[in-house]
């Protein structure tokens, strides 16, 4: 196949193929689409990528996405106090919580979860500055919104133990039956949690 396509196309295929869930077939669809749409379309994508590479940085306060080394929109928002910090594993989780419109505090994005097997220790989470803020008394509640997986639970436990001696309220997202989900097909662990955490009506 290599000889059929121009080298530039092969390179683009290879790089597209590194995106999550993109195999050679999908990469080919993208490349052919871009070539069909013409140079302007390809150049636009290249320019957008350049902008991201040059401008996007992690917010020094929350490790969320920001630009040019500044604090992000959420951390700069005067309506969102520093008292409540929701700890999430990634930007996608932050966006999902923002989409509910329920939470008015700030975030802290870990970008990874504790995993001794993968060599991810506490130091690589970048939580130092958040713990400092907690120690200085500017944090009242830490909402642990890491996933309910082994790594997510380990990370949540680590955070709650680290701040246990501080006057900080530590909460964890409720586990249970998803809204609209059937009981019948729910996995055993979730169902057990839903049972244990059942609420008085």
* Least distance from a copy of itself to the Cβ atom of residue 54, Å: 8
Q: Does 156 bind a copy of itself (CB under 8 A)?
A: no
Q: How many CA atoms lie less than 13 Å away from 85 in the CB half-sphere? A: 26
Interface residues for a copy of itself in 14-43 (CB under 8 A)? 15-16, 18-21, 26, 28-37, 39, 41-43
Cα 56 to Cα 73: distance, rounded to the nearest angstrom: 13
8 vs 164, beta carbon nearer a copy of itself? 8
Cα 170 to Cα 72: distance, rounded to the nearest angstrom: 24
Binding segment for a copy of itself among 59-67, 145-153, 160-168, 184-192 (CB under 8 A)? 59-67
DSSP string of 62-127, one letter each residue:
T--EEETTPPPHHHH-TTS-TTEEEEESSHHHHHHHHHHT---SEEEE-SS--BGGGTB-GGGGTT
Q: Give me 35's structure tokens.
A: 């070539």
Q: Report the DSSP pairing between strands 169-172 and 56-58.
A: unpaired
The only residue of 60, 69, 82, 95 in contact with a copy of itself, by rule CB under 8 A: 95
Q: Does 63 bind a copy of itself (CB under 8 A)?
A: no
63 vs 155, beta carbon nearer a copy of itself? 63
- Tell me if residue 148 falls in helix, strand or coil: coil
CA distances to 6, 7, 125 from 3, rounded to whole Å, are 7, 8, 45
Q: Give me 43's structure tokens.
A: 């150049």
68 vs 184, beta carbon nearer a copy of itself? 68
**Total interface residues for a copy of itself by CB under 8 A:** 58
Q: Does 3 bind a copy of itself (CB under 8 A)?
A: yes
Lay out the site mask for a copy of itself across 73-92 (x = CB under 8 A, - = otherwise): xx---------------xxx
Which residues lie near a copy of itself (CB under 8 A)?
A: 1, 3-9, 11-12, 15-16, 18-21, 26, 28-37, 39, 41-56, 65-67, 72-74, 90-92, 94-95, 98-99, 111
């Amino acid at each position: 196949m290599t000889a059929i396509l121009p080298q530039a196309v092969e390179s683009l295929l290879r790089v597209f193929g590194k995106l999550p869930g993109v195999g050679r077939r999908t990469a080919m669809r993208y490349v052919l689409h871009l070539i069909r749409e013409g140079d302007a379309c390809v150049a636009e994508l290249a320019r957008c990528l350049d902008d991201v590479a040059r401008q996007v940085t992690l917010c020094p306060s929350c490790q969320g996405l920001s630009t040019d080394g500044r604090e992000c929109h959420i951390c700069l928002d005067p309506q969102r106090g520093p008292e409540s910090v929701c700890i999430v594993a990634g930007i996608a989780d932050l966006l999902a919580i923002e989409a509910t419109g329920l939470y008015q505090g700030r975030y802290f994005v870990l970008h990874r979860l504790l995993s001794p097997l993968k060599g991810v220790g506490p130091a690589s989470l970048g939580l130092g500055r958040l713990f400092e803020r907690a120690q200085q008394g500017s944090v009242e509640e830490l909402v642990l919104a890491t996933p309910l997986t082994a790594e997510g639970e380990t990370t949540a436990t680590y955070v709650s133990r680290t701040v246990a001696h501080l006057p900080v309220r530590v909460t964890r997202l409720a586990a249970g039956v998803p809204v609209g989900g059937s009981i019948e097909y729910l996995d055993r662990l979730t169902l057990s949690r839903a049972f244990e955490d059942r609420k008085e009506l």
